[in-house]
Amino acid sequence: MVVAPLTLTCLVLSTLFAAALPIVLYRRLRVPLGLNARDAIAGIAVFALFASVIERALNGYVLHQNAAVAAWLSHPLTFVIYGALTAGVCEEVGRFIAMKMMWQRAVAAKAAVAPNSLANSASEASVANAAVSCSTTSRPSVSARVSMRKKTVVPPSTGDSTALGYGIGHGGAEAWIVGVLVQIQWIVFAVVANRGELDSYLGSLPDESLMRIQMVLASLSPLTAGVFLLERVAALVLQIGLSVLMWRGVRAGWYAILPLAIVAHALVGLPAALFQVGVIPLYAVDGLYALLAIIVAVVLVKMFQRTARTA
Protein backbone atom coordinates (compact mmCIF):
# COMPACT_ATOMS: atom_id res chain seq x y z
CA MET A 1 0.00 0.00 0.00
CA VAL A 2 1.35 3.42 -1.04
CA VAL A 3 0.05 6.90 -0.18
CA ALA A 4 0.27 9.06 -3.30
CA PRO A 5 2.94 11.82 -3.20
CA LEU A 6 0.28 14.46 -3.97
CA THR A 7 -1.81 13.27 -1.03
CA LEU A 8 1.20 13.26 1.29
CA THR A 9 2.16 16.77 0.18
CA CYS A 10 -1.38 18.04 0.80
CA LEU A 11 -1.40 16.44 4.26
CA VAL A 12 1.89 18.11 5.18
CA LEU A 13 0.82 21.54 3.87
CA SER A 14 -2.56 21.43 5.61
CA THR A 15 -0.91 20.38 8.88
CA LEU A 16 1.65 23.19 8.67
CA PHE A 17 -1.10 25.71 7.94
CA ALA A 18 -3.23 24.51 10.88
CA ALA A 19 -0.19 24.63 13.18
CA ALA A 20 0.84 28.13 12.11
CA LEU A 21 -2.62 29.74 11.95
CA PRO A 22 -3.19 30.49 15.68
CA ILE A 23 0.44 31.62 16.13
CA VAL A 24 0.35 33.97 13.13
CA LEU A 25 -3.11 35.24 14.07
CA TYR A 26 -1.95 36.12 17.58
CA ARG A 27 1.22 37.84 16.39
CA ARG A 28 -0.64 39.87 13.75
CA LEU A 29 -3.33 41.07 16.19
CA ARG A 30 -1.20 41.44 19.33
CA VAL A 31 -0.20 45.07 18.79
CA PRO A 32 -3.24 46.58 16.99
CA LEU A 33 -5.75 45.04 19.43
CA GLY A 34 -3.56 45.03 22.55
CA LEU A 35 -3.59 41.27 23.16
CA ASN A 36 -2.05 39.97 26.37
CA ALA A 37 0.01 36.76 26.33
CA ARG A 38 -1.46 35.76 29.71
CA ASP A 39 -4.91 35.48 28.17
CA ALA A 40 -3.69 33.15 25.41
CA ILE A 41 -1.78 31.05 27.94
CA ALA A 42 -4.93 30.77 30.05
CA GLY A 43 -6.83 29.48 27.01
CA ILE A 44 -4.14 26.90 26.27
CA ALA A 45 -4.11 25.73 29.90
CA VAL A 46 -7.90 25.42 30.12
CA PHE A 47 -8.19 23.32 26.96
CA ALA A 48 -5.25 21.12 27.97
CA LEU A 49 -6.73 20.48 31.44
CA PHE A 50 -10.49 20.39 30.91
CA ALA A 51 -10.68 18.90 27.40
CA SER A 52 -7.54 16.79 27.13
CA VAL A 53 -7.43 15.49 30.72
CA ILE A 54 -10.81 15.79 32.48
CA GLU A 55 -13.08 15.16 29.48
CA ARG A 56 -10.90 12.33 28.22
CA ALA A 57 -10.81 10.70 31.66
CA LEU A 58 -14.58 11.02 31.97
CA ASN A 59 -15.13 9.46 28.55
CA GLY A 60 -12.72 6.66 29.38
CA TYR A 61 -14.60 5.82 32.55
CA VAL A 62 -18.11 6.15 31.12
CA LEU A 63 -17.50 4.37 27.81
CA HIS A 64 -15.05 1.69 28.86
CA GLN A 65 -15.16 1.09 32.62
CA ASN A 66 -18.85 1.51 33.47
CA ALA A 67 -20.70 -1.29 31.68
CA ALA A 68 -24.19 -0.11 32.68
CA VAL A 69 -23.69 3.44 31.39
CA ALA A 70 -21.84 2.21 28.30
CA ALA A 71 -24.79 -0.02 27.44
CA TRP A 72 -27.18 2.88 27.89
CA LEU A 73 -25.01 5.04 25.63
CA SER A 74 -25.00 2.39 22.92
CA HIS A 75 -28.26 3.91 21.68
CA PRO A 76 -27.42 6.57 19.04
CA LEU A 77 -29.68 9.26 20.55
CA THR A 78 -28.23 9.00 24.06
CA PHE A 79 -24.70 8.86 22.67
CA VAL A 80 -25.25 12.06 20.66
CA ILE A 81 -26.69 13.88 23.68
CA TYR A 82 -23.90 12.64 25.95
CA GLY A 83 -21.13 13.52 23.49
CA ALA A 84 -22.41 17.02 22.81
CA LEU A 85 -23.11 17.86 26.46
CA THR A 86 -19.86 16.40 27.81
CA ALA A 87 -17.72 18.59 25.55
CA GLY A 88 -19.88 21.61 26.35
CA VAL A 89 -19.80 21.12 30.11
CA CYS A 90 -16.09 20.38 30.41
CA GLU A 91 -14.83 23.15 28.14
CA GLU A 92 -17.32 25.85 29.15
CA VAL A 93 -16.92 25.26 32.89
CA GLY A 94 -13.17 25.63 32.40
CA ARG A 95 -13.66 28.74 30.26
CA PHE A 96 -16.03 30.25 32.84
CA ILE A 97 -13.63 29.66 35.75
CA ALA A 98 -10.69 31.10 33.80
CA MET A 99 -12.59 34.17 32.66
CA LYS A 100 -13.95 34.89 36.13
CA MET A 101 -10.36 34.93 37.38
CA MET A 102 -9.22 37.04 34.42
CA TRP A 103 -12.05 39.52 34.99
CA GLN A 104 -11.20 39.85 38.69
CA ARG A 105 -7.54 40.39 37.84
CA ALA A 106 -8.38 43.03 35.22
CA VAL A 107 -10.70 44.91 37.60
CA ALA A 108 -8.11 44.80 40.39
CA ALA A 109 -5.40 46.06 38.05
CA LYS A 110 -7.64 48.87 36.85
CA ALA A 111 -8.47 49.88 40.42
CA ALA A 112 -4.79 49.85 41.37
CA VAL A 113 -3.83 52.04 38.42
CA ALA A 114 -6.54 54.68 38.96
CA PRO A 115 -5.16 56.36 42.14
CA ASN A 116 -1.72 56.63 40.58
CA SER A 117 -2.83 57.91 37.17
CA LEU A 118 -1.77 61.50 37.88
CA ALA A 119 1.63 60.44 39.15
CA ASN A 120 2.08 58.09 36.23
CA SER A 121 1.21 60.85 33.76
CA ALA A 122 3.80 63.14 35.30
CA SER A 123 6.38 60.35 35.28
CA GLU A 124 5.64 59.49 31.65
CA ALA A 125 5.94 63.12 30.65
CA SER A 126 9.32 63.44 32.34
CA VAL A 127 10.52 60.24 30.71
CA ALA A 128 9.35 61.45 27.31
CA ASN A 129 11.08 64.81 27.79
CA ALA A 130 14.25 63.06 28.86
CA ALA A 131 14.12 60.79 25.85
CA VAL A 132 13.60 63.72 23.47
CA SER A 133 16.43 65.72 24.97
CA CYS A 134 18.76 62.74 24.93
CA SER A 135 17.87 61.79 21.38
CA THR A 136 19.60 64.92 20.05
CA THR A 137 22.76 64.35 22.06
CA SER A 138 23.20 60.75 23.18
CA ARG A 139 21.35 57.57 24.03
CA PRO A 140 18.56 57.82 26.68
CA SER A 141 19.55 57.02 30.22
CA VAL A 142 19.08 53.54 31.66
CA SER A 143 16.09 54.66 33.78
CA ALA A 144 14.43 56.27 30.76
CA ARG A 145 14.89 53.12 28.67
CA VAL A 146 13.49 50.92 31.47
CA SER A 147 10.46 53.20 31.87
CA MET A 148 9.81 53.17 28.14
CA ARG A 149 10.01 49.37 28.12
CA LYS A 150 7.49 49.17 30.95
CA LYS A 151 5.05 51.20 28.89
CA THR A 152 5.07 48.48 26.21
CA VAL A 153 3.80 45.83 28.65
CA VAL A 154 0.09 45.20 27.98
CA PRO A 155 -1.90 45.43 31.23
CA PRO A 156 -4.94 43.22 31.89
CA SER A 157 -7.87 44.53 29.84
CA THR A 158 -11.61 44.53 30.48
CA GLY A 159 -12.31 44.84 26.75
CA ASP A 160 -13.06 42.20 24.15
CA SER A 161 -9.35 41.86 23.32
CA THR A 162 -9.08 39.65 26.41
CA ALA A 163 -11.63 37.24 24.92
CA LEU A 164 -9.84 37.30 21.57
CA GLY A 165 -6.48 36.44 23.13
CA TYR A 166 -8.05 33.72 25.24
CA GLY A 167 -9.96 32.30 22.28
CA ILE A 168 -6.83 32.12 20.13
CA GLY A 169 -5.09 30.24 22.94
CA HIS A 170 -8.02 27.87 23.56
CA GLY A 171 -8.70 27.26 19.87
CA GLY A 172 -4.98 27.06 19.08
CA ALA A 173 -4.49 24.39 21.74
CA GLU A 174 -7.37 22.44 20.20
CA ALA A 175 -5.84 22.81 16.75
CA TRP A 176 -2.53 21.43 17.97
CA ILE A 177 -3.70 18.72 20.38
CA VAL A 178 -6.70 17.41 18.44
CA GLY A 179 -5.50 18.19 14.92
CA VAL A 180 -1.81 18.80 14.32
CA LEU A 181 -0.33 16.13 16.58
CA VAL A 182 -2.77 13.50 15.32
CA GLN A 183 -2.13 14.50 11.71
CA ILE A 184 1.63 14.26 12.21
CA GLN A 185 1.12 10.69 13.37
CA TRP A 186 -0.76 9.82 10.17
CA ILE A 187 1.92 11.51 8.05
CA VAL A 188 4.57 9.37 9.76
CA PHE A 189 2.47 6.25 9.13
CA ALA A 190 2.11 7.25 5.47
CA VAL A 191 5.86 7.76 5.03
CA VAL A 192 6.62 4.42 6.70
CA ALA A 193 3.97 2.68 4.56
CA ASN A 194 5.51 4.12 1.40
CA ARG A 195 8.81 2.52 2.43
CA GLY A 196 7.07 -0.81 2.87
CA GLU A 197 7.93 -0.92 6.58
CA LEU A 198 4.53 -0.35 8.17
CA ASP A 199 4.05 -3.94 9.36
CA SER A 200 7.43 -4.03 11.10
CA TYR A 201 7.02 -0.48 12.44
CA LEU A 202 3.68 -1.38 14.06
CA GLY A 203 4.51 -5.02 14.73
CA SER A 204 3.49 -4.81 18.37
CA LEU A 205 -0.11 -3.87 17.51
CA PRO A 206 -2.91 -6.45 17.17
CA ASP A 207 -3.81 -7.44 13.63
CA GLU A 208 -7.18 -5.71 13.92
CA SER A 209 -5.59 -2.37 14.84
CA LEU A 210 -3.02 -2.70 12.06
CA MET A 211 -5.78 -3.42 9.56
CA ARG A 212 -7.70 -0.36 10.73
CA ILE A 213 -4.64 1.86 10.26
CA GLN A 214 -4.09 0.48 6.76
CA MET A 215 -7.72 1.20 5.87
CA VAL A 216 -7.39 4.80 7.04
CA LEU A 217 -4.18 5.26 5.06
CA ALA A 218 -5.86 3.82 1.96
CA SER A 219 -8.68 6.35 2.34
CA LEU A 220 -6.38 9.40 2.50
CA SER A 221 -6.59 11.86 -0.38
CA PRO A 222 -6.06 15.57 -1.09
CA LEU A 223 -9.73 16.01 -0.23
CA THR A 224 -9.04 14.50 3.20
CA ALA A 225 -6.35 17.12 3.78
CA GLY A 226 -8.74 19.88 2.73
CA VAL A 227 -11.47 18.60 5.05
CA PHE A 228 -8.98 18.49 7.94
CA LEU A 229 -7.93 22.09 7.31
CA LEU A 230 -11.53 23.27 7.01
CA GLU A 231 -12.43 21.64 10.32
CA ARG A 232 -9.44 23.15 12.15
CA VAL A 233 -10.04 26.67 10.84
CA ALA A 234 -13.76 26.47 11.63
CA ALA A 235 -13.05 25.13 15.13
CA LEU A 236 -10.63 28.01 15.83
CA VAL A 237 -13.17 30.62 14.71
CA LEU A 238 -15.95 29.03 16.76
CA GLN A 239 -13.75 28.83 19.86
CA ILE A 240 -13.01 32.55 19.57
CA GLY A 241 -16.73 33.24 19.17
CA LEU A 242 -17.59 31.17 22.26
CA SER A 243 -14.85 32.97 24.19
CA VAL A 244 -16.27 36.38 23.30
CA LEU A 245 -19.75 35.20 24.31
CA MET A 246 -18.50 33.94 27.68
CA TRP A 247 -16.37 37.03 28.33
CA ARG A 248 -19.22 39.42 27.69
CA GLY A 249 -21.47 37.42 30.00
CA VAL A 250 -18.85 37.34 32.76
CA ARG A 251 -18.14 41.04 32.32
CA ALA A 252 -21.86 41.80 32.66
CA GLY A 253 -22.12 39.66 35.80
CA TRP A 254 -24.67 37.43 34.12
CA TYR A 255 -24.42 34.00 35.75
CA ALA A 256 -26.84 32.49 33.23
CA ILE A 257 -23.99 32.78 30.71
CA LEU A 258 -22.58 29.42 31.86
CA PRO A 259 -25.64 27.28 30.99
CA LEU A 260 -26.14 29.34 27.83
CA ALA A 261 -22.54 28.72 26.76
CA ILE A 262 -22.87 25.00 27.52
CA VAL A 263 -25.97 24.76 25.34
CA ALA A 264 -24.30 26.79 22.56
CA HIS A 265 -21.21 24.57 22.67
CA ALA A 266 -23.35 21.43 22.66
CA LEU A 267 -25.28 22.67 19.63
CA VAL A 268 -22.01 23.38 17.83
CA GLY A 269 -20.83 19.85 18.58
CA LEU A 270 -24.13 18.24 17.63
CA PRO A 271 -23.45 17.79 13.87
CA ALA A 272 -20.14 16.01 14.57
CA ALA A 273 -21.86 13.70 17.07
CA LEU A 274 -24.61 12.95 14.55
CA PHE A 275 -21.96 12.09 11.96
CA GLN A 276 -20.30 9.68 14.40
CA VAL A 277 -23.50 7.65 14.68
CA GLY A 278 -24.08 7.76 10.92
CA VAL A 279 -27.12 10.04 10.92
CA ILE A 280 -25.74 12.72 8.59
CA PRO A 281 -22.89 12.56 6.01
CA LEU A 282 -19.51 14.22 6.43
CA TYR A 283 -20.01 16.75 3.62
CA ALA A 284 -23.15 18.06 5.35
CA VAL A 285 -21.28 18.42 8.65
CA ASP A 286 -18.35 20.26 7.10
CA GLY A 287 -20.64 22.46 5.01
CA LEU A 288 -22.59 23.44 8.11
CA TYR A 289 -19.41 24.19 10.07
CA ALA A 290 -18.00 26.23 7.20
CA LEU A 291 -21.17 28.32 6.98
CA LEU A 292 -21.33 28.83 10.75
CA ALA A 293 -17.63 29.76 10.91
CA ILE A 294 -18.06 32.34 8.13
CA ILE A 295 -20.99 33.95 9.96
CA VAL A 296 -19.10 34.05 13.26
CA ALA A 297 -15.93 35.36 11.55
CA VAL A 298 -17.85 38.21 9.88
CA VAL A 299 -19.42 39.21 13.21
CA LEU A 300 -16.05 39.08 14.99
CA VAL A 301 -14.25 41.10 12.29
CA LYS A 302 -16.89 43.84 12.36
CA MET A 303 -16.86 43.91 16.17
CA PHE A 304 -13.09 44.22 16.47
CA GLN A 305 -12.90 46.74 13.63
CA ARG A 306 -15.30 48.90 15.66
CA THR A 307 -13.13 48.38 18.72
CA ALA A 308 -9.98 49.39 16.84
CA ARG A 309 -11.63 52.56 15.47
CA THR A 310 -12.86 53.69 18.89
CA ALA A 311 -9.57 52.85 20.66
pTM equals: 0.85
Burial of 225 (0-12, 13-18, 19+ CB in 10 A): buried
More confident residue, 306 or 247: 247
- In whole angstroms, give the CA distance from residue 26 to residue 170: 12
What are the residue boundaries of the structural domains of the chain, listed by start?
Answer: 5-110+157-310
Average predicted confidence (pLDDT) for the chain: 86
CA–CA gap between residue 178 and residue 172 (Å, rounded): 10
Predicted local distance difference test score (pLDDT) of residue 208: 86
Q: Which of 101-110, 126-135, 302-311 has the lowest mean pLDDT?
A: 126-135
Distance CA 98, CA 212 (A): 39
Hey, what long-range contacts does 140-144 have (CB within 8 A, 24 or more apart)?
Answer: none
With 60 as the cut, is the pLDDT of residue 131 above it? no
* Confidence grade of residue 136 (pLDDT, cut at 50, 70, 90): very low
Rounded-to-integer distance, Cα 239 and Cα 306, Å:
21
Range of weakest confidence among 63-77, 87-101, 124-138, 210-224: 124-138
Q: What's the whole-number mean pLDDT along residues 159-170?
A: 94
| Nearest CA-CA partner of 292 in 249, 248, 238 | 238
Instruction: Give the lowest-confidence range in 108-122, 180-194, 252-266, 275-289.
Output: 108-122
pLDDT of 275 above 80: yes
Chain mean position to CA 46: 10
Q: How many CB atoms lie within 10 A of CB 201?
A: 15
- State residue 187's pLDDT score: 95
- 153 phi-psi bin (left φ>0, alpha ψ -120 to 50, beta other): beta
pLDDT on residue 265: 96
Q: What's the confidence (pLDDT) of residue 120? A: 47
CA distance 56 to 11: 26
